[in-house]
Amino acid sequence: MKLPIFIIVLLSAELSKADIIASCDKDDFQLDGQISSRITYASVYKIANMYEVKHDPRLEKIARENFKSCSDYKHGKNFRVLGAPHEKEYDAIFKKHLKAANYTDLDDPKYQEALHPLQYSFIICRLKVNCSMPVEGGTLKSNTVAFYGPQGTLSPSDLKVGPPGSQCPYGKAERGLCIAWPRGAGSSTDSKTGPPSAQCPNGECIAESKSGQRRDGMEAMIYVFFLIASLSFV
């Protein structure tokens, strides 16, 4: 009977890998704040292709699949974490955009996640624990994490120079930012379509599937456990 006990231990360890996200809020106040910030940034820094962000349940799914512990406070393949340290080359990319936009103010703005024009999903998740999270210039203890998607990286070509909403492939939203896909072609809540990008080739978004792999592995382990347990009593 030692072998089945060993399998039970393995199953318990697998089940303990539950994510630490308690809930993800559809907070319209926070969302409106993000949209307002992006409107301001697009105007001040002449970002012509800034998308309007919306709540997206697919981003919640991606967040739950990737944020399992405090050590997961970092950017991923198809999402960015608000406040997490960004790649240093992004400051140079943004500075190059400012030069092209003839930005002459004396301040020296740095890249931040709300400046990425091709993000169109946003969600805030509350954690079951407080995490000490690395942020620009230090650490922050918090039980909330904000995610942007679907872009995981920034390239120089992502930033287009011009008045807000002047380079929108699918048209503009009511407040002047770009909409993420053609009207009538689906939405972030009922479709897997989105603007073409490295993460969404031909408009089909790619989501990481760690949870699916884990579920398949769990099912296989459970099957093996019951098989061995039944053989042990023969």
Which value, in Å, is the radius of gyration of the alpha carbons in the chain? 21
Is the confidence at residue 130, as pLDDT, over 60?
Answer: yes
Other Cβ atoms less than 10 A from the Cβ of 24: the count is: 20
Name the 3-class secondary structure at 128.
strand
Q: How high is the pLDDT of residue 106?
A: 72
What is the spatial distance between Cα 222 and Cα 228, in angstroms, rounded to a whole number? 10
Whole-Å CA distances, 229 to 8, 62, 71, 223, 225 = 10, 35, 36, 10, 6
pLDDT at 4 over 90: no
C-alpha 31/C-alpha 37 separation (Å) is: 10
Write down the pLDDT at residue 182: 61
pLDDT at position 133 is: 82
CATH number of 20-185: 3.40.33
Residue with tokens 């955009």: 97
Q: Which residue has the tokens 């407080």?
A: 130
Return the pLDDT at 82: 87
Question: What's the whole-number average pLDDT of the chain?
Answer: 76
Residue 150 has pLDDT above 50, yes or no: yes
Distance CA 99, CA 90 (A): 14
How would you list the strands of the sheet with 80-81, edge to edge?
A: 21-25, 121-135, 138-149, 80-81
Alpha-carbon distance 48 to 23, whole Å? 34
Q: Which amino acid is located at 88 in the chain? A: K
| 233 three-class SS | coil
pLDDT at 18: 61
pLDDT 10s digits, 152-192 = 999 999 999 999 999 999 999 999 999 987 654 444 433 34
Residue 114, classed as helix, strand or coil, is helix
Tell me the C-alpha to C-alpha distance, in Å, between residue 46 and each of 139, 160, 161, 170.
31, 8, 6, 19
Question: Does residue 16 register a pLDDT over 50?
Answer: no
pTM over 0.95? The answer is no
DSSP-based three-state secondary structure for 95: helix
Is the pLDDT assigned to residue 217 strictly greater than 50? no
**CA proximity to 45, closest of 113, 100, 119:** 100
* pLDDT at position 93 over 70: yes
Sketch the domain layout of the chain as residue ranges: 20-185
Residue 140 DSSP code: E
d(CA 175, CA 159): 19
Query: What sign for the dihedral angle of Cα 214, 9, 21, 69?
Result: negative
pLDDT category, 84, cuts 50, 70, 90? confident
Range with the poorest average pLDDT among 5-14, 44-53, 93-102, 130-139: 5-14
pLDDT at 202 over 70: no
Residue 62 has a pLDDT of: 94
